[in-house]
Amino acid sequence: MQPTTVMPPMDELRKVFREAGLSLTHQRVVLYRAVLEMRSHPSPEAIYERVRDEIPSISLGTVYKNIRAFMDAGLVREVSPHHGTLRLESNLEEHHHLVCTRCKAIVDLEESDLEPVRLRRELPGGFRVDRYSVEFRGLCAACSAKPDLS
């Protein structure tokens, strides 16, 4: 059972946006609700398609701009810190990763560096697992030394 994300009512949304420093527009409300409802980790395109039912005149640029605003405000995240460019893996051994979210560095962690991951239940509906790996996200030494020039 998924943790039920209650769809925030209008006055709750007003507060959320206020605290995020985002003024409340119709497009934003519809976009935010759409993203919260879609539990499929949607792409900008997928959100665009979905939201066009409600606001046919909305522009793809507006979708991107607001997604970015939501991310900057911490209302949503991106699934992968490497979505911008392909990164190659030449280490074919089973292993794990340490990922710096600032400089995008990726460092290997040997499989033997951690205890084997153990599932407590069956995986949902017939998913066939090839491999798994653990991703530790954070800041590398160099990046956490530098000031947060956001």
Which amino acid makes up residue 51?
V
Provide the greatest CA pair distance for the chain.
54
Structural tokens at position 123? 């995986």
> Nearer Cβ to DNA, position 37 or 45?
45
Using CB under 8 A, count the residues that bind its own copies: 71
- CB 21 to DNA: min, Å: 7
Contact 31, 63 (CB under 8 A): yes
Q: Does 140 bind Zn ion (CB under 5 A)?
A: yes
Cα 112 versus chain centre, distance: 28
Q: Which of 18, 26, 110, 146 binds its own copies (CB under 8 A)?
A: 110
What residues between 40 and 99 interact with Mn ion by CB under 5 A? 89, 91
From CA 63, how far away is CA 103, in angstroms rounded? 26
Q: Which is nearer to its own copies, 127 or 149 (CB)?
A: 127
| Contact string (CB under 5 A) for Zn ion, positions 66-105, x = contact | ----------------------------------x-xx-x
Q: Which of 61, 126, 149, 150 binds its own copies (CB under 8 A)?
A: 126
Nearer to Zn ion, 120 or 128 (CB): 128
What are the backbone dihedrals phi and psi of residue 2, each rounded to the nearest 5 degrees, phi first? -75, 150
Taking alpha carbons only, the member of 1, 6, 68, 69 closest to residue 36 is 6
Q: Which amino acid is at 38?
A: M
Q: What is the contact surface with DNA in residues (CB under 7 A)?
A: 22-28, 43-45, 55, 57-62, 64-66, 68-69, 83-86
